[in-house]
Structure 1
Amino acid sequence: MMLKFRLFANFREKAGRKEIALDVKGGTVMDAIKALIAAYPGLEPLMLQEGMLKPYVNVLVNGRKAGPMDRVNEGDELAIFPPVSGG
């Protein structure tokens, strides 16, 4: 299924792209993240720890907070960003 990824901050810098469209096999957020990392291996140390999504990695699917086991569907947009802080 085709998914659209929007990357922010250091994820965008590492991938060298703001938006990416990928064909993903599997139906979970984690499957999508693994497909993204397969295409852009430099993202792995930023996003994964011992094969699991790092707790500070924020994922929104179509604007809603999502966890690694949440389902994704054809055409969904995943926004992925690190923690945001400010004052």
Structure 2
Amino acid sequence: MSARAAGVWLWVYLVTDDIVREAERSEQVATLRNIGEEFPNDLDNYFERMILRVPKPNHEMAQNFLVVVEELQILPLTHV
């Protein structure tokens, strides 16, 4: 599976998870429909939205998380 396809499956999982969570809280169908319509179209925007929902006292932790996600790269192995 390519990395691009993996991102699509993660996006589908996250949308589905949000809808199921709200359905378990007995939300109305209109609310569930809005979740699907308002869900960001890509993972970067989803994670940004998720971070913006973090309570203000935890913003520094959330900003650190964004930096790690943005900069995370596999480091090359070198011979010692």
Instruction: Pick 1 or 2: higher relative contact order, CA cutoff 8 A, min separation 6.
Output: 1
TM-score, with structure 1 as normaliser: 0.26
Larger gyration radius, structure 1 or structure 2: 2
Higher helix share: 2
TM-score, with structure 2 as normaliser: 0.28
